[in-house]
Every structure is written in structure tokens, then in C-alpha cells.
Amino acid sequence: MLYGVELSSRLLLGTARYPSPAVLERAIKASGAQIVTVSLRREGGASRAGQSFWSFVQSLGLRVLPNTAGCHSVQEAVTTAHMARELFDTKWIKLEVIGDADTLQPDVFGLVEAAGILTQDGFEVFPYTTEDLVVADRLLEAGCRVLMPWGAPIGSARGLNNVYGLRSLRAHFPDIPLIVDAGLGVPSHAAAAMELGYDAVLLNTAVAEAGDPVAMARAFALAVEAGRTAFLAQPLEPRDMAQPSTPVIGKAALERFSN
């Protein structure tokens, strides 16, 4: 559940970089996603092309999560969020405040400040953050009720760079919805995130730039389902020593007889 909204899908999908709207629509359907992210800056909300894209997204009947992609300051992110609320008619906002142009790592100081401003103004904020526990705590204090730590830099397809950090975040905040956002490249990365106990994953590039985006969207959907099922099944913990699957006690003893 995200801000009181019950969802059946644990896969969130971005809408950028697809070969065509038709491929995007087919990929969304194949993924089973109920939430898609849309960048106001990229779409150019006031332009005719932007309005056309928004009409297309509306026709899919999905919940839209606008984001502040490309914002590098608190003021820029807050202004973009207000524009997105007006255009998309939603209190939801995926908050990005980028601190480094090469890695697209979040500026966690600006992120916490912007989150506080937006939550006080009635927004329901989905912050794109790191796996830092202190930052997570500050975001919750600022009013966020969902956290979206990165797996790896956006578009890098490197998977989960800091499994220890992500596992610690899950352990420290067991009751907070956690969504791995960014850096996933193949379905096994998504399954690994879900096996850690994460509630969902958000991805874009791994599907949009695949040779067959529709097939890849379906593969990620299956991986998310498999990972979640495995987590609920309480998987076996790793062991340092071998443990035979066939019991030794009660094993038949064979003797050699000679004439």
C-alpha cells in the first residue's frame, strides 16, 4: 500500500526512451504495472507534444507518478512538483534532487529540504534517495511515507551495488514501503531486490532499451513475482559447511561377501 492506495502490482515502470508509444503501451500491459512515472520537464507540459503524451497516458487508465527528473536544486524541484500537480492532478510526486551530474546521485541534503517543503504543502512524496539510514530517517521525519533507494546509478544496469546497505535499510524500517529505484538491468536484479524484502521496484531503461521491450517487461514482471514469493517462503540462509540432503542415519549398509 502506497499512501493509502492498495495495488496488486509490485512493478512500477518509467515511460521514457521507448521506440514508440505503441511499444510503450504493449510493454506496460505486459508488465502488469499500475503506476507509471512521467517527467514533466521531458514532456514539456505546456507544449502540444506534452499534452498529446498526457492524453495517451490517461487513455491507459494508470496511476501517474510525475517526477522532478533533471532538477539540481531545491527551488527547481519544488517548482517542478507544483507544475506537475497542476498538470497531472495528483498529490503524488517522485522527488529527485540530483547532486552529481555523472552518477546522478541524489543530493540528500537538498532532498530532505525539498521533501519537507512539499509534504507541508500537501504532496505525497516518493523520494529518490540513497541507502543511507540517517538520510532515510530524516526523510521520514520530513513527512515521507515511502522511500525509494537506488540500486545503482540511473540507467547503469549494474543491479544492486550495495546489498548490505539495502538489507540494513529494510531491517531498520520494516513497516515503511521501500521501492528499489534505478540501476536494475536484468530481471534477476529485480528478483534479488524482492528477495531482500523490498515492496516493489521501479525501472525504465532496462525495459525501454531492450531489444524487445515487451518481452523484457514480461520477464521483469515474472522476476518480481518470483522474488516476492521467495521472500515470503523464508529462504534458506547461506551456510559455511556442506549439509547432506540425504540423511546418514538409517542409511542402508552394504557388505562385500567373498566365497
Give me the half-sphere count of Cα atoms (radius 13 Å) on the Cβ side of residue 43.
Answer: 25
Starting at the edge strand found earlier in the chain, the sheet holding 63-67 runs 148-149, 124-129, 92-95, 63-67, 35-39, 11-14, 200-203, 179-181
- Cα Rg for the chain, rounded, in angstroms? 22
Q: Report the chain's terminal Cα–Cα distance, integer Å.
A: 75
- Whether 119 contacts 143, CB under 8 Å: yes
Per the annotation, the verdict on 94 as an active-site residue is: yes
- Whether 224 contacts 194, CB under 8 Å: yes
- Whether 14 contacts 206, CB under 8 Å: no
Residue 31, C-beta contacts closer than 8 angstroms, at least 6 positions apart: 9, 11, 13, 207, 217, 218, 220, 221
The residue length of the chain stands at 259
- Phi/psi at 246 (nearest 5 deg)? -100, 120
**Active-site residue identified among 29, 91, 94, 251:** 94
Catalogue the active-site residues: 94
